[in-house]
Structure 1
């Protein structure tokens, strides 16, 4: 059967506030749950996006196999297989994908990590739907490492999935909550490997025969997931890497809106404005990170460091604001149930084959980049910045749609991707040069002698030459899509 679930990330204080607010009926008794997750030494199940656990509660054990979708966020619809078992040893039947994944390696299964939580459960009736709401608090443990768990899961028992968001909004009105994108099994696997510093974009699952509407939804949800994962890392570490990747996630998401504009029209305009606002806040801190990485020791670096620390304070304040918290929830709901899905004039475009839509989008942005870069050395900084943004959109489109063309003209795809990446990097370096004086002036440092080395005007000519060469290589690269 399929599990339909919406996950919310909570703090312990938020969990107390929700229960105290009375938005969930009754006073449930906590149920202690202990789950053991199994895998092979080479993590064959994790590689197949499967999890296998045995959960014990009230003296009974239930074995569950789940199929994960690591590119998703918001409402998750996941196949799961459950059966009672008598002990802490997995029972593998042919009714799950596990035997086909493991083959002869089933005997190598062993415990990898455990999850112990106190669960509190409510059953709600909401807009014709029945929803199970649970709050879990506890920890995940693997050997000598552990990670706390505090989350709320809303599982649809019956009725329309949109009702999950109605309940989520009542909870969000009672206490600060955030869209959850990390499963308990993912938390456990993080403990048995290197701790992530930042999360890069994951490949979006796009299958043959997919519609343009479903492709957009999957792409956007993948971007939301990347942002939320890096947001949590950023708030915990206040370092440049997760800030950069959180900003990349927002750029990818905003680019997705642009790429799919022929289908979306003006739909989601308010969400786009909120994304622009959030990206702008992160962008100011990112500019200071770039400048700080180039600054030698001395008074200028100290001033940049102080400004950078203040910018990170502002980023943290924004990320914890109600506007930012609800934005990801708004986006997840809009992607599944928004006005863009109800517009009759856009039905034909939404039903269009994703591969055909992708080919036209790639051609459209390729033409823009080829046209915009013809006289690269003559462009003003602002025009070159616009070209850089178009180049990013072309690269994001190529990344988004890569699975749809995975079997096509591999040599051409490789050359096009390499040329596109190099051209974007050269434009990025030129943009950093152009932005440095503006950031220094904003900090009141432009007239200091040490600031001249950060502007690096002597680097401009070789960077322009390299960018022109990269453009020529990209312009001559053949299209690999049809």
Structure 2
């Protein structure tokens, strides 16, 4: 009979590292001891339609070689909304064969029913694993370095990652060690698990990652909602970060969207975030978004150019902007920001403060309704007589409309009744139309300064990028009409 156990994983932190950085780390004094080394071969199973993954679970069979011979471990792991941000429930059992044992000791039969007969292997992970046990101040941490590849059908991807598993001590020790490791060799907060690497190999090649719906539930409290929302934004940024380059303009756009959504989450949840760290993380996120901004602005300007000659004149500045963006992303400042954000969301030190405890414990749906009301009132009030506002006031209105739109997208799953879903769709459509009109107006307003800075003001072909007073009036009128339609849209949360 297989030996079975249901466990809750110890706190873990996974970090991406390049093979070159891994060799630097292995040669350091920190990892001076002799590691335990073993080949690892993991096979992931699911139905062809990936029904188990859709339910929020993975099923793997891992064969590990070592001094004691091969061992086979079956693991069913809860992921996504079915698990906590930091502790993943698992069902483990040792096996003797190469096929999973799918009995009632795991949730798989209840999840799949008759579809369980369709389960088969989908992809494989083959790595060499090196394991060190690192004693620390009040903490014992196991460091595992995996180097190898994930394969699915005829596609493959390199796998080089570090997993830090806490054996004893406070979870913050994981992040303290990660920062210490980064002083020796650059590493980054991982955005994907090894299972997600495999599933992505089965799908189309993605050149950018849009924001995914956040799996909020009505039984959550406000603090739970902020953690999930923030984690989703952080994940979207990290998924897009490695894709950023001048040949892929959508990746930098989506990375900036992720940072804007994250900063909006901090603004939406400000009443419950009473610590200084929240403000610092918000400012650092704004810095990073700003470092990517020039590349995005030049991408937009380039798309508006009808003249190939003018596009050619833009290209040196655009390449320089992407070089600046890449340098910022590769900086220790940006790497530490990702670790700091990960720690802030996963460990949530702000929840221990007595201030705002009552707000943090509010039912999430109640907190969401109040937040949506607050931001809607501001957008409604500040857009009155929009045609008479100055450029700066209209810019602030545009930013507030973005925050409201992100809040509505975040919280819409909490209001899933049929009538509310229809209202949410209409409300978001009206808000998106307002945001688009305000964005087009902002492009007209900011274009002269950008064209001047690029030294293109004297180029006759650049005149088309500037628009005319008539164009601006038309955009203002369209924005005012969109604001009126937004005001008329019914609230889906009341």
Does the CA contact (< 8 Å) of 1:72 and 1:221 recur in 2? no
Cα distance, 1:406 vs. partner? 1.9
State which drifts further: 105-114 or 382-391.
Answer: 105-114
Contact 1:71-1:222 at 8 Å conserved across structures: no
Relative to the length of structure 2, the TM-score reads 0.93
**Separation (CA, whole Å) in 1 of partners of 2:346 and 2:95:** 36
Q: CA deviation at 1:339?
A: 5.2
2: CA distance, partners of 1:163 / 1:15: 21
> Is 1:238–1:312's contact at 8 Å kept on the other side of the alignment?
no
Q: Is 1:473 equivalent to 2:480 in the alignment?
A: no
Which 10-residue stretch deviates more, 185-194 or 16-25? 16-25
CA–CA separation in structure 1 for the residues paired with 2:260 and 2:73: 42
Structure 1 counterpart of 2:436: 425
Instruction: Please tell me whether residue 241 in structure 1 is matched to residue 250 in structure 2.
Output: yes
Say whether residues 1:50 and 2:57 are aligned partners. Answer: yes
From 299, 303, 306, give the equivalent of 1:296: 306
Count of residue correspondences: 480
Q: How does 1:145-160 map to 2 (within 5 A)?
A: 145-160=155-170
Q: Which residue of 1 aligns with 2:459?
A: 448
Q: Note the C-alpha offset of 1:337.
A: 4.1
Distance, in Å, in 2 between the alignment partners of 1:140 and 1:104 is 29
What are the Cα deviations for residues 164-209 of structure 1, in whole angstroms up to 9, with x where unaligned? 1122122112110111120111111111110111111122222223
What's 2:16 paired with? 9
2:261 maps to which residue?
A: 252
Q: Distance in 2 between matches of 1:354 and 1:124?
A: 40
Asked whether the 8 Å contact 1:28–1:120 carries over to 2, the reply is: yes
In structure 2, C-alpha distance between the alignment counterparts of 1:71 and 1:105, rounded to whole Å: 20
Q: Tell whether the 8 Å contact from 2:240 to 2:255 is kept in structure 1 after alignment.
A: yes
Tell me, in whole angstroms, the C-alpha distance in 1 between the residues paired with 2:455 and 2:433: 34
* Matching of residue 61 in structure 1 with residue 72 in structure 2: yes
Matched, 1:164 2:174: yes
Q: Which runs of 5+ in 2 are unaligned?
A: 1-6
Indicate conservation of the 8 Å contact 2:86/2:346, yes or no: no
The residue aligned with 1:463 is 475
2:139–2:170 CA contact under 8 A, matched in 1: yes
CA shift in 2, pair 1:328/1:470, >3 Å: same
Counterpart residue number, 2:37: 30
1:212 to 205, 209, 222: 222
Does the 8 A contact of 1:223 with 1:252 survive in 2? yes
Query: Once the 2 structures are TM-superposed, how far is the Cα of residue 83 of structure 1 from its aligned partner?
Result: 1.0
Cα distance in structure 1, aligned partners of 2:483 and 2:126: 55
263-272 or 316-325: bigger deviation: 263-272
Q: 1:440 to 1:70 in 2, by over 3 A?
A: farther
CA distance in 1, matches of 2:122, 2:226: 36
- Structure 2 vs 1, CA of residues 177 and 461 (structure 1 numbering), >3 Å: closer, same or farther? same
Q: Which residue of 1 aligns with 2:290?
A: 280
Q: Is the 8 A contact 1:72 1:222 kept in 2?
A: no
Query: Partners of 1:447 and 1:480 in 2: how far apart?
Result: 50
Worse overlay, 204-213 or 323-332? 204-213
Residue 372 (structure 2) aligns with: 362
Matches within 5 A, 1:72-91: 76-91=86-101
Unaligned stretches of 5+ residues in structure 1? none
User: Residue 304 of structure 1: SS of its match in structure 2?
Assistant: helix
CA distance in 1, matches of 2:83, 2:235: 6
In the TM superposition, residue 128 of structure 1 has moved relative to its aligned partner by 3.2
Helix, strand or coil at the partner of 1:30: strand
Shift of 1:414: 1.9
* CA RMSD of superposed structures (Å): 1.9
